[in-house]
Amino acid sequence: MVKKLLSEGIGTFWLVFGGCGSAIFAAGVPGVGIGWLGVSLAFGLTVLTMAYALGPISGGHFNPAVTLGLVAAGKHNLSELPGYWAAQVIGAILAGFALYAIYAGAGDFNGAGGFASNGYGALSPNGYSMFSALLIEIILTAVFLLVILGSTSSKVPAGFAPISIGLALTLIHLISIPVTNTSVNPARSTGVAFFADTAALSQLWLFWVAPLIGAVLGALIWKAVKEK
């Protein structure tokens, strides 16, 4: 169990460090910045790489919503959920701290600003409402769980699941960065919200509630449509 928790912590650290780090350091560089497309790909690559590296140890969740969804689908033990959640959140916060420490070393540093945090209303990249944020996070997390459950089923050739899961997360970001800056992962949202100079912490509840609802919904849909 210790190895599982370490794997979840490390994997979530990498997801936040790589995904949010790409947004903080590389997205907006004039002329050579990677933009939203690059950030979307970065998040997908973090999951793909760590799913291959650590998935065989812990299952490669790196996301409290994924753990809950797998429990709801009967694919993971409920008794392990609190430990997985703790490891994921700790890994995410450590990544946020590391990113802040690096960012603070910039010559023109004047506070963290939004720090790749999630939000709605004034904190949404394009000003989308709380309802819009809630709905898109529920839908996209549900679809993410469907992809995870389907690609890891016994009827799918082994070894390809991380690719489809990573590509799904890339697509999810391509859809929803303009709306919420994309969460579908409560740990990812928590890890950077603590360091943002905005009111991100006051909106963090939505980025726990919506992904958790979406994960359970995705698990229920999977159980309804899967072949016996």
pLDDT for the residue 155: 81
Residues 103, 104, 106: CA angle, nearest 5 degrees = 75
Burial degree of 2 (CB within 10 A; 0-12, 13-18, 19+) = exposed
> b vs e for 76-113, b when ≥16 Cβ sit within 10 Å of the residue's Cβ?
beeebbeebbebbbbbbbbbbeebbeebeeeeeeeebe
> b vs e for 7-16, b when ≥16 Cβ sit within 10 Å of the residue's Cβ?
bbbbbbbbbb
pLDDT for the residue 223: 93
156 has pLDDT over 90: no
CATH number assigned to the domain covering 2-225? 1.20.1080.10
pLDDT, tens digit (0-9, with 9 covering 90-100), for 79-114? 999 999 999 999 999 999 999 999 999 988 888 999
227 has pLDDT over 80: no
Domain ranges across the chain: 2-225
pLDDT tier at 176, thresholds 50, 70, 90: very high
pLDDT for the residue 30: 86
Which ranges in 181-205 belong to alpha helices (H)? 186-193
